[in-house]
Amino acid sequence: MDVSRRDLLKLLAVAAGAGLAPRSLEGADGPARLLAFEPLGNVTLLHITDAHATLRPVFYREPDSVIGVGAERGRPPFLTGAELLRAYHLAPGSVEAYACTYLDFPALAARYGRMGGYAHLATLVRRVREERAGRTLLLDGGDTIQGSATALWSRGEDMVRVSNQLGVDVFTPHWEFVYGLDRVKELFGDRERTGLFAGDFVAHNVREVGWGERPFHPYTIREVGGARVGVIGQAFPYTPVSHPRRFVPDLTFGIREDGVQGLVNELRDDKKVDLVVLLSHNGVAVDLKLASRVHGLDVILGGHTHDALPQPILVGRTLVVNSGSHGKFLSRLDLDVQHGRVGGYRYRLIPVLAQDLPADPGMAQLIDEIRRPYEAKLSERLAVSESLLYRRGNFNGTFDEVILDALLRGADAQIAFSPGFRWGITIVPGQEITLEDVYAHTAVTYPNTWVREMTGREIHALMEDVADNLFHPDPYYRQGGDMVRLGGLTYTIDPSKRVGRRIRDVRVAGRSLEPTRRYKATGWASLAEVDGPPAWDVVAGHLRSLGRVRLAPRPRVRVV
């Protein structure tokens, strides 16, 4: 996944064309400014989330569309592009603009380079720990051990080893469960035994069907900077719905708002903690509602929706933090905690700029060891992209279009469905697409493709169902992901409408979708068991046949 010299020259040419010269590492946009942080208080919380097994630095373009409904519209986190820059007083063309928006992405990618990578993240974490010895807690919000070929082939073990090397103290899950409950227990332990993970694995809202027993610890208490810190784990509430039920057949999840309040009361009244943190994988909109209804929470460190918040959102006295995805950011929250109260805070969403932060030698060695057996296979060159290929956003991204084209062609179908996954790296113009890049968009434990006939009425109903999941006015009814990606058709959507009325003017090959007509459809990552070829084989074969990828603009979705 490294940029070749030829790729780099092309990127630099793009930057020069946009008037963006490569920067000096010690200039106004250099690492000294980005990493400068005046310490405050006695507790430092470091937060990462949604790494999706991204071991090495990558490009990852932030979304151009994140639509809020009702009172959410125009407010964080439902801001993108220029609106986000204005809201947080960030300069266009700055490293923050590159990290937090989609604007001028190819040019800024040439200027600032790849982001993330655990070896570079490890250097940053070590520096903070050395500065704040005995005062630092590192928390991981989950979606960590899925999203790459090596994570898939090792069934998550590579990422747990890396997390141990990084020194993650507390962890809560979501995609971790796609390897099955037994594997989760092997890797993370349960209430009876430890696993490979060296930190504390907490998930209060996971219960056994029937008995209601918790298989995992609901919280942990850590001494940090002379304060007792209680951390409650909140796993993704809709895990049995968002993934095949067979992975967790005997577990229930849910938001369990009353359970959170009960644990907050227990920690404050019985355990006498000074600070209560919810390590959450709810998604930021759910976290905001939860913060308004649960009393006594000091901090929510959230994940799942991949939102990168340059500043916490204050709900009453609760600070709500979200830290982006794919290893791009490390959140640092310094707190002055005295006698059970937070007297003040200071925060920074720190971009992990790989070209500015030296790799930690120990972590780099471990990553090389993990990847070495697979390097030749992963580095297979499939094609070169002349277009910017990305996924994240409410509707179809350009890498989604590549996947959809591969599905349509492979199945000779009229309509293709691809899940609205938020994970998946970005390919910049001129970059080679490797087999590893394909896995970075398809590495799930249920990758098989399917082909079947569907009526127009079934297709429309499915679209409405997914749209309601995304745009339901009550965040507690949103079950994750972006809008299903659709190939072979166009449509108009009004997110403000109620379920059944959001989507209209659906057209297949330019003709109106007919309710009773049967269409040949294809897709992948079905919740049911299917036996078609895995998506990575379909997409890789398609790219090999193309050699070069150039996508013309496709106005597939009209939003009103």
Mark whether 331 and 431 lie in a shared domain: no
Reduce the DSSP state of residue 495 to 3 states and report it: coil
Mark whether 432 and 497 lie in a shared domain: yes
- Amino acid identity of 41? G
Domain boundary among 342, 369, 396: 369
CATH number reported for the structural domain that contains residue 178 in this entry: 3.60.21.10
Mark whether 363 and 423 lie in a shared domain: no
- pLDDT for 25: 34
Give a yes or no: residue 505 inside a domain.
yes
- pLDDT for 29: 52
Whole-angstrom Cα distance, residue 328 to residue 350?
8
Mark whether 462 and 503 lie in a shared domain: yes
Mark whether 513 and 492 lie in a shared domain: yes
Give a yes or no: residue 103 inside a domain.
yes
Joined together, the tokens standing for residue 244 give 């095949």
Mark whether 343 and 404 lie in a shared domain: no
Give a yes or no: residue 374 inside a domain.
no
Domains identified in the chain, total number:
3
Distance spanning both ends of the chain, measured CA to CA: 38
Q: Please provide the DSSP assignment of 100-112 as one string.
A: H--TTHHHHHHHH
Is pTM beyond 0.85? Reply is yes
- Calculated CA dihedral for residues 127, 130, 131, 137, nearest 10 degrees: 90
Which residues are CB-contacts of 306 (< 8 A; sequence separation ≥ 6)?
A: 50, 324, 325, 392, 422, 423
Mark whether 398 and 528 lie in a shared domain: yes
200: nearest Cα among 236, 173, 227: 173
What is each CA distance from 181 to 173, 175, 190, 364, 419, in whole angstroms? 11, 11, 10, 30, 23
Mark whether 198 and 286 lie in a shared domain: yes
What's the domain range around 550? 379-559
User: Of all helices (H) and strands (E), which one includes residue 170?
Assistant: strand 170-171
Give a yes or no: residue 106 inside a domain.
yes
Mark whether 384 and 466 lie in a shared domain: yes
Is the Cβ–Cβ distance between 242 and 236 less than 8 Å?
yes
Give a yes or no: residue 50 inside a domain.
yes
Side-chain-side CA neighbours of 14 within 13 Å: the count stands at 23
Please name the residue ranges forming H helices in 418-534.
435-442, 456-471
- pLDDT for 481: 85
Which residues are CB-contacts of 545 (< 8 A; sequence separation ≥ 6)?
A: none
- Amino acid identity of 458? E
Is the Cβ–Cβ distance between 457 and 515 less than 8 Å?
yes
Give a yes or no: residue 344 inside a domain.
yes
Domain boundary among 322, 337, 369: 369
- pLDDT for 479: 86
Give a yes or no: residue 511 inside a domain.
yes
Weakly modelled stretches of the chain, pLDDT under 50: 1-27
Mark whether 227 and 361 lie in a shared domain: yes
Angle at 138 between CA 132 and CA 141, to 5 degrees: 155
Mark whether 150 and 89 lie in a shared domain: no
Mark whether 145 and 79 lie in a shared domain: no
Give a yes or no: residue 38 inside a domain.
no
β-bridge mates for residue 217, sequence order: 202
CATH number reported for the structural domain that contains residue 493 in this entry: 3.90.780.10
- Amino acid identity of 126? R
Kind of pairing, strands 170-171 and 200-201?
A: parallel
